[in-house]
Amino acid sequence: MRRDVATLLLASAVYGFSIGCVHSTRFGLHNLIKFPLLILITGAACAVAYYLWALLIGGARFRFADVQRLAMRLYRDAAVLLAALAPANWFLARTITPPDATSLHQYPLFLGVNVCFIAVAGALALFRQVRALAQYHPWPLSRRVITVSGWLALSLMVGGQAAWTLRPFFGVRSISGAETPFFIGSMPDCRGSTNFYEGVYNVVRPAPFAPDYSRRGRDWN
């Protein structure tokens, strides 16, 4: 278990550094702390929920330690896959056309690529833990998929809000890092959102807005 945690922290720090470098090396160094912290906060906040969900779906007496071990390995596998992509991601971060006060240029492309990286890594890690779950209980495949998918959904809900509080991870390069707090917390983004769920809603809904990427405190990624 300790080895899994150590691997998770190291791998997530490596990937965090690569995404922070889209703004600056300073942001990358910040992410050596912030990205592993995001993973730890999410895992700690979801620990009991993972266990209760496994009991609800499985109807079997899992040991709490077994559930935590499986969930930790889900995070670890995803982090290791992301760390493997970190060199290419760092190169992309340093070579895209950076945003300025009038346009984001290729910055949305970088965000989109990283969303795909995280989605693919999460899906592969999910598949592996569905197979691993069979070692603890001979459930049908469908029940194992539901169990691990529930863990992933819980992680996304809690992790999304944790990431919102700990942002910025990427940063908009046209905003000076010296002007951006280490943690932005509930400070509104360029659309006025003050939490992760409101932010998702404001991104999805077709509402026009005119963000000013040079304003202090709007560095919301």
What pLDDT shows up at residue 8? 93
Residues contacting 164, CB < 8 A, separation 6+:
186, 195, 196, 199
What pLDDT shows up at residue 93? 93
What pLDDT shows up at residue 77? 93
What pLDDT shows up at residue 20? 93
Task: Tell me if residue 32 falls in helix, strand or coil.
Answer: helix
What pLDDT shows up at residue 94? 92
Residues contacting 40, CB < 8 A, separation 6+:
9
8 Å CB contact between 45 and 162: yes
Segments of the chain with pLDDT less than 70? 59-61, 174, 176-179, 190, 203, 206-221
Q: At 5, phi and psi to the nearest 5?
A: -65, -45
What the block records as the tokens of 81 is: 């896959």
Asked, as a colleague might, if the bond just before 168 is cis with ω within 30 of 0, I would say yes
- C-alpha–C-alpha distance, residues 159 and 173, integer Å: 24
Residues contacting 221, CB < 8 A, separation 6+:
111, 167, 168, 169, 170, 171, 172
pTM: predicted TM-score of the whole model, two decimal places: 0.82
What pLDDT shows up at residue 143? 86
Length of the chain in residues, anyone?
Answer: 221
